[in-house]
Structure 1
Amino acid sequence: MNYLYMVSGKPDWTQIMVSYIANRVGRKRINDEFMSARFPAGTFARIDANLREREARSDFIRLAVDAEIARREGASGPPPAKKKPAAPSDQG
């Protein structure tokens, strides 16, 4: 729960009002999967050196991941779908 503490009243700072702020407020998430990753020393400097004007580092990394996934899927095709094991037959 998030609470916003607001001082109400005129110059009298002794009255404090607490109001609840719903978590639904704001825009809808567009990138809602989260992953933390560690990179070798110097990687961020190399990324920063290759950023386009006004491009964020996170956008660069997302594009790089998408490009690598597309490259790998194009080379071997998408991974095969897992088949469900066959149910044992009642014909004994």
Structure 2
Amino acid sequence: MSKIEEKQNAIDFCTAFGKHLRKLRKSKNLSIEEIAYKAGIDAQNLRKYELGKQEMKISMLKRISLAFDMSPSELIDFEESDYCD
């Protein structure tokens, strides 16, 4: 796989994960601000994650998963194909 393909795969995953994160948040009837507060992060950063505009560090994944009362592995356990256009 070329570097360009690797980068595109990472972008595609970030976009799919962001959509998954947004769907999960909405299914729990929580606002971005509520999850951000529970995770101890800035709401703007959470928006960037949901839009797939920013890659997430593992430490941030843990904080966000705890805000959802989930483990990090539970949070990333989704079908990427469900969120691809």
TM-score over 0.5 (shorter chain) = no
- Higher relative contact order, structure no. (Cα contacts within 8 Å, ≥ 6 residues apart): 2
- Which structure has the highest strand share of the two? 1
TM-score, with length taken from structure 1: 0.24
Give the TM-score of the pair, scaled to structure 2: 0.26
* Larger helix percent: 2
